[in-house]
Amino acid sequence: MMDVIKNKLHVVIEPIQTELNRLSTRERMIVYGSAIALAFVLAFIILIWVGSSASSYQRKIRKSQQNIQKIHEIGARYQQIEKQVSQLDRMILQAPSNFQLATELEKLANANQIQIDSFKEKAGPQHEFYEETQVILSIKDVDIRSLIDFLQSIENSGRFMLITNLNIKPAFKDPTKLSVQAVISTFSPL
């Protein structure tokens, strides 16, 4: 096998050697110099090509690493939201079946020395898994501290109640007091 390759190479190299031997010393130096220059140019082109390919791959690797980081962040955010949703589900499912939103709001208002002027209970918008009940309440002439305490007691009660809309204006009769209209929602499973 090696002999076959050697013979084929010899057939190719022998005419080149013969032609080189016919050249003068000066002409041979020019041919050798040209061959070396050509080898350097080819090596330089190959190095540039390899370098640009490596740079391209490094950019792709960095972009892939950034994408992986984003995927991990999205996954962590998803798990956090999933945990919040399961907590909300537990709160909704733990509510007693006879829970009355208006009654609960009235108890919280009395505990915070607030007089609710009007209640209007209505069904909320349709949801896929839950039924929403809303109470529109109106409070007139309330001081800001009592209002804050009342709203915090709604949000922090053991029941799942949300303040979904809140409109606060200065009271007409006394500008140091407030007039409030709020929509409070609660949910129950379908």
In the prediction, which pLDDT does 121 show?
84
In the prediction, which pLDDT does 41 show?
94
Instruction: Write out pLDDT tens, residues 133-172.
Output: 888 998 888 888 888 888 888 888 777 788 888 898 888 8
165-169 long-range contacts (CB < 8 A, ≥24 apart) are none
Give the integer Cα–Cα distance in Å for 146 and 139: 11
Taking a C-beta distance cutoff of 8 angstroms, is the pair 148, 113 a contact?
A: no
In the prediction, which pLDDT does 94 show?
75
Count the alpha carbons within 13 Å of 62 in the hemisphere toward its beta carbon.
6
Across the range 102-113, mean pLDDT stands at 84
In the prediction, which pLDDT does 70 show?
95
Instruction: Write out pLDDT tens, residues 89-104.
Output: 777 777 777 777 788 8
Looking at per-residue pLDDT, the higher value among 112 and 39 belongs to 39
In which band, very low, low, confident or very high, does the pLDDT at 38 lie, cut at 50, 70 and 90? Answer: very high
Exposure string of 123-141, with b = 16+ CB inside 10 Å and e = fewer, is: ebeeeeebebbbbebebbb
Q: What percent of the chain has pLDDT over 90?
A: 18
Contacts of 33 (CB under 8 A, 6+ apart): none
Per DSSP, 95 falls in state: S
Does residue 19 come out as left (phi exceeding 0), alpha (psi in the -120 to 50 range) or beta?
A: alpha
Give the integer Cα–Cα distance in Å for 128 and 35: 79
Per CATH, the homologous superfamily of domain 101-189 is: Ribosomal protein S6/Translation elongation factor EF1B (3.30.70.60)
